[in-house]
Amino acid sequence: MNRNEIRSTLDEESVRLSKALGQNLLHDQNVLRRIAKAADLHPADQALEIGPGLGALTEHLLAAVDQLTAIEMDKRLHAHLSERFGATEKLRLIHADALKYFRNTEVDWSNWKLVSNLPYNVASPLLVDLAAMPRGPQRLVVTVQWEVGQRLAACHATREYSKLTLLVACRYEVKEIFKISPHCFFPEPRVDSACLMLDRRPDPLYPDALHKPFTAVVKRAFSQRRKMMRKNLKGGWPEDQLDAAFAAVDLDSKIRAEKVTLEQFVALAKKLHDV
């Protein structure tokens, strides 16, 4: 489905895309093929797509797998997808808000691959939620705003390094990232986009019981980025406990959060919560 076909379909069905929902539909066939290829899909794979829109990427995914689950919140687009792909039994289409669906539905996603042009407005919280799952998808191939992609792929001691970096990196490793021009979307966003491939870490950095404490440490550490991390953490733990934990992990008491590596954050969370 190219740009003209998208415009024509939207006009015929009187659908106006919402900026508030981050609805920018990817139409460039070369990019769509590259995204599908990055997922390395096989017929027996369990594939998941969030925000399929008019089905441009869906078409490529259905050609690669025997079963695809797609979650679409917009009832108008859901109706279009039902009509367009209604003849195939390969597609399971769910009309739901993906954020609410993941938070309210107990599913073991560990053998799944998520491949999606994520709606910009929910991309970050969705990725954080997926990383928080004890049994999240084994691979994520997603498009996000370029700035978000840079934060996800950031190294410590850089401007892009943030709590988003850490809350996803604790469970996923970025394997690939490439830029996508605004011209590949309809309507065209004002910024470049990024496609990232993230793989679930085969060896967890910490036990599941430590995820909430780790998250709490990271969020407090970055609550005021320009402050020393220890000051940001004072509201959550006694000073003597912080002093002991910082010393055990060999962290300078004056260090800022962006200078602390993922491994050091994990070690600090373990010391603070005796895990």
Predicted confidence (pLDDT) per residue in 51-61, tens digit:
999 999 999 99
CB atoms within 10 A of CB 115: 30
Say what percent of the chain tops pLDDT 70. Answer: 100
| Rounded distance between C-alpha atoms, residue 124 and residue 102, angstroms | 14
Average pLDDT, the chain: 95
DSSP state at residue 183: G
User: What is residue 229's predicted lDDT score, i.e. its pLDDT?
Assistant: 97
Give start-end residues of each CATH 1.10.8.100 domain in the chain: 208-273
Average pLDDT over residues 105-109: 92
Asked whether residue 275 carries a pLDDT value surpassing 80, the answer given is no
Single pTM value for the model: 0.95
pLDDT at 101: 96
* Per-residue pLDDT at 21: 80
Chain segment 241-250, per-residue pLDDT in tens: 999 999 999 9
Cβ 49 vs Cβ 115: under 8 Å: yes
Which helix (H) or strand (E) segment holds residue 232: the answer is helix 229-233
The pLDDT, as a whole number, for residue 4 is: 87
Q: Is the pLDDT of residue 146 over 60?
A: yes
Retrieve residue 82's tokens.
């039902």
3-class DSSP state of 37: helix
The fold of the 3-200 domain, in CATH, is Rossmann fold (3.40.50)
Measured between alpha carbons, how far is residue 215 from residues 70, 138, 210, 219, 244 in Å? 29, 21, 9, 6, 20
pLDDT digits (tens, 9 = 90+) for 130-142: 999 999 999 999 9
Distance CA 52, CA 85 (A): 12
pLDDT 10s digits, 110-123 = 999 999 999 999 99
The two three-digit tokens of residue 128, written as one number: 């954080």
For residue 232, the model assigns a pLDDT of 97
Rounded average pLDDT over 71-95? 95
Could you give phi then psi for residue 108, rounded to 5 degrees? -85, 105
**Helix, strand, or coil (residue 71):** strand
What pLDDT, on a 0 to 100 scale, did the predictor assign at position 228?
A: 97
For residue 177, is pLDDT > 60? yes
Q: Which CATH number fits domain 208-273: 3.40.630.30, 1.10.10.10, 3.90.25.10, 1.10.8.100?
A: 1.10.8.100
Residue 192: the pLDDT is 97
Helix (H, G, I), strand (E, B) or coil at 125: helix
For position 163, what pLDDT does the model report? 98
Q: d(Cα 215, Cα 183) in Å, to the nearest integer?
A: 37
Helix, strand and coil in the chain, % to nearest 5: 40, 20, 40
- 215-274, pLDDT tens digit by residue? 999 999 999 999 999 999 998 999 999 999 999 999 999 999 999 999 999 999 999 997
Confidence of residue 19 (pLDDT cuts 50, 70, 90): confident
Pairing of strands 139-145, 112-117: parallel
Length of the chain: 275
